[in-house]
Amino acid sequence: SGPLRSAGISDRAEGAAAGSGRGGGKMPCKKKTYGKKTPAKRQLAEVFPAGEVLADKSRKEWKLGVPIGQGGFGRLYLADVNSSKSVGSDAPYVAKVEPSQNGPLSVEVMFYLRAARTDQIRKWTESHKLEYLGVPKYLAFGLHERNGNSYRFMIMDRFGRDLQKIFEENGKRFSHKTVLQLGLRILDILEYIHEHEYVHGDIKASNILLSYKNPNQVYLVDYGLAYRYCPDGVHKVYKEDSKMCHDGTIEYTSIDAHKGVAPSRRGDLEILGYCMIHWLSGCLPWEDNNDPNFVRDSKIRCRDNISVLMDKCFPGKNKPAEIVKYMEKVKLLSYEEKPVYQHFREILLQGLKAIGQKDDGVLDFGLSENGGLQTKPMQKNKRKAAAASKERNEAETEDTGSPVKKKRTTSNAVTTRTRKMTSPNPKKVTATRKRVQK
């Protein structure tokens, strides 16, 4: 409890971080209901100058470099161990900083302390015979006072580019092999965090980052609003809440989330399915529509008839059989059911075999280096994809009478989303969050 309090985490938060102490072991889930959610107020951190020194809970000092990102609640800086040298552009670490009264960073710290400690990740990686596990490792956390204000900070390893930028620069296409390998790596991550009682709820290309040193490794980031779906072995009950409808990133969020149901394991797998379809085909039938009810209804129709989804995304092409099988298997999962992750992996491995490939650990993004691209944006393909998307949208508008469609926000824009956070107290907190790409 000492380290948590020294980082400025409340007793209530400390209880959530400490958890049951099961260390990832399986525990039977029981049903339990919780109270209503209340709004949370957020403030944005001030900009710190390069050279600002932060002392973590163990009194180790870290020096900040230039800011490299900003979210709805905090800021991201290059960082390094404190020394007489300035922090350069090749800094190996980053620092997340937010006002101490905000919640997301404390939730993220709790996630790492409870579910993603370095020893836990190492043991899991070894026992499951993985080359690596794409869950970030945090290094330190603490409180910092500046100009009479208190800030919470966390030091993390630095990562490379996010997949959304690479996806767009590659004409919104990834190769078949790369998509299936990404799916395999994300399944590894999801199995790990699910076994530790958390779901992510916002899997998407902008939340998947390349390793700074190895572009063949990907990491799922942003656990500031990770949801503890089964705290102390007590699974959330299926309950639709109209006040929480359409939670998440609209293109990818699960049908459960559209209905205001708390995130679950099947929701994460559904979201990953939408991502793989988008990465492979370059489109989703509802991606240009900002009406969440239309998007929800479209997803429900496609879930009920997956061939319709495949026809819309892969018109006149050979449909990827493994994606069909994957989505069919997700469809069969009940809300509280534990997925058999190996079955999903086997489906994707069969897909690799069908195209004459294997899971060799090499991700082909056309990278010359981590941060540069050999492949130029495919303008011709972009125009074709845009024309096809327009035709689909016009057809759906005529059939359904849906509102006029708006162009989807790109990765350079700020996305507003509402997510739920848990604590051991029955009261939940609603957090409205703006995201920017890292």
Check which CATH number belongs to the domain holding 81 and give it: 3.30.200.20
Count of structural domains within the chain: 2
Is the pTM of the predicted complex or chain greater than 0.85?
Answer: no
For range 345-357, the mean pLDDT = 98
Are 311 and 406 contained in the same domain? Answer: yes
Q: Supply the pLDDT for residue 369.
A: 41
Band of pLDDT at residue 23, cut at 50, 70 and 90: very low
Do 87 and 37 lie in one domain? The reply is yes
The residue out of 108, 133, 158 marking a domain boundary is 158
Asked whether residue 296 is assigned to any structural domain, the reply reads: yes
* DSSP, residue by residue, 39-102: E----PPPPPPTT-EEE-TT--EEEEEEEEEE-SS-EEEEEEE--SSPP-TT-SEEEEEEETT-
Residues 204 and 154 in one domain: no
Pair (139, 232) in one structural domain? no
Is there a single domain that holds both residue 326 and residue 227? yes
User: Which residues are catalytically annotated?
Assistant: 202
* Other CB atoms within 10 Å distance of the CB of residue 432: 14
Q: What is the CATH number of the domain that holds 179?
A: 1.10.510.10
Is residue 51 assigned to a domain? yes
Is 375 among the domain residues?
Answer: yes
Q: What is the pLDDT of residues 181-194, one digit of tens each?
A: 999 999 999 999 99
Provide the CA 348 distance to its chain's centre, in angstroms: 20
Same domain as 164, residue 147: no
- Buried residues in 223-262 as b, exposed as e (16+ CB within 10 A): bbbbbbbbbbebbbeeeeeeebbbbbbbbbbbbbbbbbbb
State how far Cα 89 lies from the chain centre. Answer: 26
Let me know if residue 437 belongs to a domain: no
What whole-number percentage of the chain has pLDDT above 70?
73
pLDDT at 255: 96
pLDDT > 80? residue 176? yes
pLDDT tens digits for range 292-311: 999 999 999 999 999 999 99
Residue span of the structural domain in which 372 resides: 160-419
- Where is average pLDDT lowest: 106-115, 302-311, 326-335, 340-349? 106-115
Mark whether 263 and 376 lie in a shared domain.
yes
Q: 77-81, 109-113, 244-248, 280-284 — which is least confidently predicted?
A: 244-248
Nearest Cα residue to 113 out of 221, 13, 220: 13
Q: Report the residue count for the chain.
A: 438
Quote the CA–CA distance of 305 and 309 in Å, as a whole number.
Answer: 7
Could you tell me which residues are beta bridge partners of residue 199? Answer: 227
Confidence of residue 289 (pLDDT cuts 50, 70, 90): very high
Average pLDDT over residues 409-433: 37
Same domain, 128 and 170: no
Residue 165 belongs to a domain: yes
pLDDT at 387: 55
User: What is the model's pLDDT at position 366?
Assistant: 67
Window from 46-55, 193-202, 312-321 with minimum mean pLDDT = 312-321
> Is 61 part of a structural domain of the chain?
yes
CA distance 36 to 428: 6
> How far is the C-alpha of 255 from the C-alpha of 89, rounded, in Å?
42
**29: which DSSP letter?**
-
Residue 131 and residue 188 in contact, taking contact as beta carbons nearer than 8 Å: no
Report which listed range, 24-38, 49-63, 216-230, is most confident: 49-63
Task: Give the up-direction half-sphere exposure of residue 257: CA atoms within 13 A in the CB hemisphere.
Answer: 30
Separation of alpha carbons 321 and 339, rounded Å: 20
Instruction: For residues 82 and 110, give the distance between their C-alpha atoms in angstroms, rounded to a whole number.
Output: 25
Answer positive or negative: Cα dihedral of 405, 409, 414, 415. positive
Which residue would you say has higher pLDDT here, 210 or 432? 210
Whether the Cβ atoms of residue 408 and residue 251 lie closer than 8 Å to each other: yes
Q: Of 106, 132, 158, which residue is a domain's last?
A: 158
Average pLDDT over residues 134-145: 94
**Band of pLDDT at residue 32, cut at 50, 70 and 90:** very low
**Residue 41 annotated as binding site:** no
How far apart are alpha carbons 263 and 415 in whole angstroms?
Answer: 19
Residue 424 covered by a domain: no
pLDDT of residue 249: 92
The one-letter amino acid code at 81 reads: V
* Phi, psi for 399 (deg, rounded to 5): -75, -35
- Shared domain check, 60 and 164: no
Looking at the predicted structure, is the pLDDT value of residue 259 above 70? yes
**What is the rounded average pLDDT for all residues in the chain?**
80
- Shared domain for 222 and 133, answered yes or no, is no
Q: What is the pLDDT of residue 103?
A: 74
Q: Which range has the worst mean pLDDT, 73-77, 246-250, 259-263, 397-401? A: 397-401
Of the three residues 158, 192, 216, the one that is the final residue of a domain is 158
Identify the sign of the CA torsion 379, 385, 387, 393. negative
pLDDT digits (tens, 9 = 90+) for 313-325: 999 878 999 999 9
DSSP element (H, E) containing 169: helix 163-169
- Give Rg (Cα) of the chain: 21
Exposed/middle/buried for residue 380 (C-beta within 10 Å: 0-12, 13-18, 19+): exposed
The helix or strand, by DSSP H or E, that contains position 173, with its residue range, turns out to be none
Q: Confidence class of residue 85 from pLDDT cuts 50, 70 and 90?
A: very high
51 and 165: one domain? no
